[in-house]
Amino acid sequence: MKLKRRVLALGYSGPLIVDGRKTKSFGFEVSREIMDRKYIAGYILCMNSSPTPHSVLKQIAQIHLMERGKLCLLREGPNGAYYNHQTWQDGKNVCRYVPQDQLAVLKEAIAGYEEFQHLTQQYAELVIQKTRAELASGLKKKTPRPNCS
């Protein structure tokens, strides 16, 4: 249901099919909702031929979970796979075991951080393009020099 609200907030009004199935992505089982969210966000960006800085900021604000790093498969066990979460903290590689009940949330958080990184790069590019266009057209106002008395 969260995904449907997020998609509607982004302006998508087409059919939305989300179920509890899992799919493989980079060797990991990822919920269909995470994959659908990435696909729909990409689809909306492509359909909106000219995203604005404001629309990108709205998309960034919709990201509720973020975590740096990656998941590494430790081993397959009788109760499923066991994973470590690797990330850099204070210049050091930190690894911690991820309990299976936290795995889905951590995968979503890592995907959220990747989406955040992508959107912030896109935002910066849009602002840079706008700044260059203003400089080229001479619309950028010169700031007056302070009077020294």
pLDDT tens digit sequence for 31-88: 656 656 666 666 665 555 688 999 999 999 999 999 999 999 999 989 889 999 999 9
> What average pLDDT does the segment 120-139 reach?
90
Q: Cα dist. 142→5, 145, 148 in Å?
A: 44, 9, 18
| pTM exceeds 0.75 | no
Spatial separation of the C-alpha atoms in residues 94 and 81, rounded to whole Å: 20
Structure tokens that stand for 83 in this block: 């994973």
> What average pLDDT does the segment 116-144 reach?
86
- pLDDT bin (cut points 50, 70, 90) of residue 18 is very low
Three-state secondary-structure class, residue 50: coil
- pLDDT bin (cut points 50, 70, 90) of residue 137 is confident
Q: How many beta carbons lie within 10 A of that of residue 123, not counting itself?
A: 19
Spatial separation of the C-alpha atoms in residues 112 and 34, rounded to whole Å: 9
Spatial separation of the C-alpha atoms in residues 106 and 112, rounded to whole Å: 10
Spatial separation of the C-alpha atoms in residues 34 and 108, rounded to whole Å: 7
